[in-house]
A and B are shown apart, each in its own frame.
Chain A
Amino acid sequence: MNAGRMAWMLLRVQVLQWWREPRHALVSIALSAVFLMIAHYLLIVYIGTHVQIGLYVPNPALARAVTRACATHELNTRTFATPVAATDALRARTIVACVAITSNFPHHVGITLAGYNPLLDRIIAGMLIGVAADISGAQPGGPQLRMYNMRTTRRELAMFMAASMVPLLIMILTALNGGLAWILDWEQGMLFRILVAPVPRLLLLLVRAAGSALLTLLVVAVAWALYSSISRPGTPVHVGAALAAVLVCVLAANGVMSAVAALTRRFLLYSDICFLLSFVLMFLSGALVPIETLPNWERFLAYCTPTYYAIRLARAAFAGTEPLLMRDVLILICWGVAGYALAYLNLRNARIDRRA
């Protein structure tokens, strides 16, 4: 038995299958890069120049200070002579919020939000509190509003969000390159050509896992290169750790998707579970919604998913916002190994138990 050649040929055929379908390879890479770019501009909350904040500040010196503070937060302003005019503009939706500072500043700073889009209101409120803290700190005497840890620049935020997107991208790519490849082999019968030959099933599983990981890493690397050259999120804080984090994420996601494929074995069932599960995992991962804002039961579910740990690890490695925890690495490795073990147990008993 020449296990080395067997493994090499299995791997070669898996890669050739991908390589000889250039449209598939190109679409996979292009859409992955687009995914990172869309997420970049969507999630770093770029407030366009068309979005304006109304100012009603009768004191000219103070008005100039507020305008400057808004500019540092990348907010455009429009000055109003009366509070009624500002309110009318809010109603007409030509401005998204209004800052009113009357003569008794710093005791009273009024922030009025438009109120028609709660998500926008939350974002603008956070930014305007930052503006208020800036001008409050610049005024001597009286109560002062201080905000600490407001060090996040646009670039840091971009890297933080990109770090969150990479594990999600890996999850989707392994669902395609790993799980779906198993399913297609199962449904089209390729697997039974392999299984009738004296191929040890553990070897088959390991080679398929390596092939899927290789293809996923290749797509992620090229997509990241494209994304970096266009959107310029910067370099990861810990480059070595970022590479290791990507490897661990690929291992875990590949294991989980292989297990889902081995348990379902049918395209429709696999796609139902896999793609709907991806949405659930995406929302529970903390990538889009902070885990801290979730109710207890949802937070508990998040802690039970691998994506939560994958994103925490990626953020620590790419953005340096959290300490690198070995615990996260171990949990992800456990997920991966458990997935492969489940897939192996199922593959060991693979049969065509259905009528043609």
Chain B
Amino acid sequence: MNDITTTTPPAALHLRDIGKRYDGRWVVHDVTLAVPAGEIAGILGHNGAGKSTVIRACAGWLRLDHGQVEVNGRIVCDSDLAARATLGVVSRDTPLYAFLSVREMVLFQTSLQGMAAAAGAAACARVLALCQLDAVAAQRISTLSSGMYQRVLLACALVHTPAVLLLDEPTTGLDPTVRQHVWAILRTLAAQGCAILLTTHYLEEAAQVCDAVYVLEHGALTQTMRDAAPAALLAALQGWFAKPAAGETCA
């Protein structure tokens, strides 16, 4: 495995030897990775490999048994509001209020980020346009399709222009067109200097979008692929995923 701790640009997101146990079993252990500003890093792995746990750890939702997560050099913890203000999270752990309209939900998110009313309204208009949600802005969340719902999740995560964006399977269940649109948004954000860490099941997504891909097996990083051409990366990932996971047998 590559030694990614020697990455030259300063990391916007730095996971230092993080470990989490559930019921005495390590779900994630010895995970160290760094995502510099402007990079999209992807975590791939089988179901139960610990991908969502890594995202939760980065969001500060877990009490880690080992290690720490730093965002722009600040440890993500409850008392550090500044560290939390730089994070944007898209996760199934944070659903939306079904009784609010799309615009109300995004405006609510701006208030949570401490934005003033005028700045919040401007940011709301910006992300609604970015995520192509203008047409449904007045619609209740409860009436949205799953693709639209996912875009609102993304809009809420982007409304405060986060320095670090965490996405837990952001394109699961989306049709190819919407998925392409989400990829385009992520590339734009990365170009603007946002550090992005996402988890995905889609090899094509990882190959097309990510600058660095980490493979997580049984809670530990086993492969790191960086700066490879999409086709080569896809071939390598297909080769890796063709192998049965430990404990599984081929039919």
Contact surface of A with B, Cβ cutoff 8 Å:
1-3, 5-6, 8-10, 13, 16-17, 20-21, 188-190, 192-201, 348-349, 351-356
Interface size class of B (residues with CB under 8 A): 35 or more
Contacts of A190 in B (CB 8 A): 94-95, 97
Check if A2 sits within 8 Å of B112, measured CB to CB: no
Cβ contacts B34-71/A at 8 Å (1 or 0 each): 00000000000000000010001001111100000000
Check if B99 sits within 8 Å of A9, measured CB to CB: no
Within 8 A of A (CB), among B91-135: 92-97, 99-100, 104, 107-109, 111-117, 120
Check if B95 sits within 8 Å of A5, measured CB to CB: no
Check if B81 sits within 8 Å of A200, measured CB to CB: yes
5 closest cross-chain pairs (CB), A and B: A9-B111, A198-B81, A197-B112, A193-B94, A1-B114
Check if A197 sits within 8 Å of B113, measured CB to CB: yes
Distance, CA A89 to CA B108, complexed state (A): 72
Contact surface of B with A, Cβ cutoff 8 Å:
22, 27, 52, 56, 59-63, 78, 81-82, 84-85, 87, 89, 92-97, 99-100, 104, 107-109, 111-117, 120, 156
Check if A13 sits within 8 Å of B84, measured CB to CB: no
Tell which of A3, A20, A189 touches B99, judged by Cβ atoms closer than 8 Å.
Answer: A20
The minimal Cβ–Cβ distance linking A13 to chain B, given in whole angstroms, is 6
Since A16-B104, A197-B114 are in contact, a sample of 20 more A-B pairs with Cβ atoms closer than 8 Å, ordered by chain A residue number, is A5-B120, A6-B114, A10-B111, A13-B97, A16-B99, A17-B97, A192-B93, A193-B95, A193-B96, A193-B112, A193-B156, A196-B87, A196-B94, A197-B84, A197-B109, A197-B113, A198-B114, A351-B62, A356-B52, A356-B93
Check if A198 sits within 8 Å of B94, measured CB to CB: no
Closest B-chain residue to A7, C-beta based?
B111
Check if A196 sits within 8 Å of B60, measured CB to CB: yes
The minimal Cβ–Cβ distance linking B144 to chain A, given in whole angstroms, is 16
The minimal Cβ–Cβ distance linking A328 to chain B, given in whole angstroms, is 37
The minimal Cβ–Cβ distance linking A265 to chain B, given in whole angstroms, is 13
